[in-house]
Structure 1
């Protein structure tokens, strides 16, 4: 019963990512319409406006992400999710009431504010789920984002312009209502000294009574991770305040300065996000239809992009299961290497045309499969596992902020880069980054499968992971 509640609440929380995927992938199905003379807007979009159309949501996420890092520790995981879900509702309302190019770009900017939920959602989910299903459930945030992209392709291909807008608006409103039904993270409540409410919420998520032994043990573990300096066997075998003096509250800067594992964890997740984004699948998602038109001109780009999203979603579910079956580290290493091979093969096919058009499709889908199995899933799982609760919100915010910077860069430069060196050469660059990702993961990435946060801290301070 407890596991079922955790799964159900995880799905309700992850609906935030479905709605962001709907808006994030919207340019794929509408960019051709918006830049044509038959546009539904007041005028065709210029080349610069098309570039902004696909990248502005990443840009405004840069603003909301650092804000959310502090809000999540001030008002809680639940209410932060609700607050930052509302911009999606506002964005679709703006699109529904106006056909001006400028306001459509404003709507994309507003929608990007919800991008910070990729920082909040994994933390929220990881704090309500048992260690045995934590990896799979945390991966739901990126899986549901993939579902949102799939729905965006489907709706964009089958419904009218107005029908798509009102469908997406309905989904956004529903998402806010679902979030109001979940309970707050017990870790956040204990951090605020609300132990009784924390016990009730743990009992809810575990399907037991507040006074049960299971709840007391869970609270003891949370209390330990919230106070790493109080035990002789503190995480990473170092006391954050081990000189025998009375305990005092460390500032964020003091905590980071004293905790080597926190600094190492930030380096690991920042690198993983960088490698993951610059492996290139994000541009394939946002510009799916134009990309498939260039790579496979003889096949309907709408059909191929929908199939691409279906494959991405299915593999996402498989990858989420594999994170708890095989572990995070081997999944990242081997999938990054396989993605690199797919990128190189795809680049040669696009550049040299050594095979029939269906070969291009095979390597594009292979690229999608291997990427989603590793770099498209693993970083979103480990970011919620590597940090102590004291700094988890701020550290995940910092890593997510860097990720949105990388997102904006790659989306903004992709089309000019293709024009400058060709699509085939761009995939060579993606391949090189994939191989670098595999090497980095082999050397520095710790395995976090089924481990508690205090044990993970000891792994982080090892010089090498092999």
Structure 2
């Protein structure tokens, strides 16, 4: 992701290029007449979303004022949850081709809207465009705002970055940086191997296999529950702390996956056949609610906090790559696992979630109320390990 951004220039240009790639992907899906066309479309949209997933939170952090940075950063996963909810609801009443066409709308709006959004002041300062830097910062803070102090802080920040050694991918695995890599990549692996994308992508089929005549009811309920729980998680982020939210969320995932495993076991053995669909629906809703509360967003927040300045770009890109590779693996394997054993699949997800709790308790640092320097210092001296 960092290399893509470097190739196209700025964060804004990276987002614009990603939106254009996504437009190509949605059009390929809409006009697809073969599996290869669908694969190409999915590849393009996946590439676009992959870049967005890293660039957008970084861009928000760079343009947001200090007092609003936490809340604005939390809006990113909230809007992702909103988009997913709308997609699931709309997808129950329109064809997949029309759904693909609907995907064009936000891409086109973004491409047009980026022409009216100022570039990141920090990027402008870094490349020496002093006048544009001051104009962009003033525009973001308001015409009457005094930005002199913030401008001085940004310049000092840029000077600090320039004095640090340039980091490469090989430096991620050095003693100095392996701690943040383990934390960030570990959280992303557990986030995906808890099974979220397999459950989301094949929600309708899962409900049908559990005994429902149609998967629409379950899918709509899933969509309705995501938004309020994601909102609650965003509100609790700076109140309860990252680790408690992760632990509560992951505990809920264990309950949801175990209930799903039991429901499919009952179905296979013909036990309580009339209750199985209700148990399955309840378990999936518990799972989605728990995921939306913390595991869906907190790993991304922690990732943005644990890497030092000189390796934040490469470190964030690596962790994002790990996330998407894990997502691809789970999405690809989910149908095969369900064909092998539906109950076994959810028992496996429950086991992964149990391991995630151990990882969170022993390895993940609490970053609430700490400066980035304090977080990095605790990781470097090893006090982050319980």
TM-score normalised to the size of structure 2? 0.88
2: CA distance between counterparts of 1:167 and 1:287?
20
Aligned to 2:20: 86
Aligned to 2:239: 325
- Correspondence list, 1:179-194, <5 A: 179-194=114-129
2:10 corresponds to 1:72 = no
Deviation at 1:306, TM superposition (A): 1.8
Partner of 1:448, secondary structure, is: coil
Aligned to 2:225: 311
Aligned to 2:336: 416
Aligned to 1:435: 354
2: CA distance between counterparts of 1:202 and 1:451?
26
Conserved in 2, the CA contact under 8 Å of 1:261 and 1:460? no
Conserved in 2, the CA contact under 8 Å of 1:84 and 1:117? yes
Report Cα offsets for 1:43-95 as digits up to 9, x if no partner.
xxxxxxxxxxxxxxxxxxxxxxxxx2123246121111111111111122223
Deviation at 1:303, TM superposition (A): 2.0
Conserved in 2, the CA contact under 8 Å of 1:131 and 1:450? no
> Which residues of structure 2 form unaligned runs of 5+?
none
2: CA distance between counterparts of 1:158 and 1:414?
25
Summarize the Cα distance change of 1:464–1:423 in structure 2 as closer, same or farther, 3 Å threshold.
farther
Aligned-pair RMSD on alpha carbons? 2.7
Aligned to 1:282: 197
Summarize the Cα distance change of 1:446–1:183 in structure 2 as closer, same or farther, 3 Å threshold.
farther
Deviation at 1:98, TM superposition (A): 4.1
2: CA distance between counterparts of 1:329 and 1:428?
24
* Residue in structure 2 matching 1:118, options 18, 39, 53: 53
* Residue in structure 1 matching 2:137, options 194, 202, 207: 202
Aligned to 1:151: 86
* Residue in structure 2 matching 1:398, options 289, 293, 318: 318
Aligned to 1:446: 365
2: CA distance between counterparts of 1:204 and 1:369?
39
Number of aligned positions between the proteins = 377
1: CA distance between counterparts of 2:172 and 2:24?
41
Deviates more, 1:128-137 or 1:359-368: 128-137
Conserved in 2, the CA contact under 8 Å of 1:133 and 1:324? no
> Which residues of structure 1 form unaligned runs of 5+?
1-67, 228-246
Summarize the Cα distance change of 1:98–1:437 in structure 2 as closer, same or farther, 3 Å threshold.
closer
Aligned to 2:254: 340
* Residue in structure 2 matching 1:104, options 38, 43, 61: 38
Deviation at 1:268, TM superposition (A): 0.7
Aligned to 2:101: 166
Report Cα offsets for 1:2-40 as digits up to 9, x if no partner.
xxxxxxxxxxxxxxxxxxxxxxxxxxxxxxxxxxxxxxx
Aligned to 2:304: 384
TM-score normalised to the size of structure 1? 0.74
Conserved in 1, the CA contact under 8 Å of 2:198 and 2:331? yes
2:198 corresponds to 1:264 = no
Report Cα offsets for 1:405-453 as digits up to 9, x if no partner.
1111111111111111x11111111111112112211222122235432
Q: Which fold has the larger relative contact order, with Cα–Cα distance below 8 Å and residues 6 or more apart in sequence?
A: 1
Conserved in 2, the CA contact under 8 Å of 1:72 and 1:393? no
2: CA distance between counterparts of 1:223 and 1:152?
40
Summarize the Cα distance change of 1:258–1:277 in structure 2 as closer, same or farther, 3 Å threshold.
closer
- Correspondence list, 1:247-262, <5 A: 250-253=165-168, 256=171, 262=177
- Correspondence list, 1:238-249, <5 A: none
Aligned to 1:363: 283
Summarize the Cα distance change of 1:254–1:446 in structure 2 as closer, same or farther, 3 Å threshold.
same
Partner of 1:426, secondary structure, is: helix
Conserved in 2, the CA contact under 8 Å of 1:153 and 1:306? yes
Deviation at 1:285, TM superposition (A): 1.1
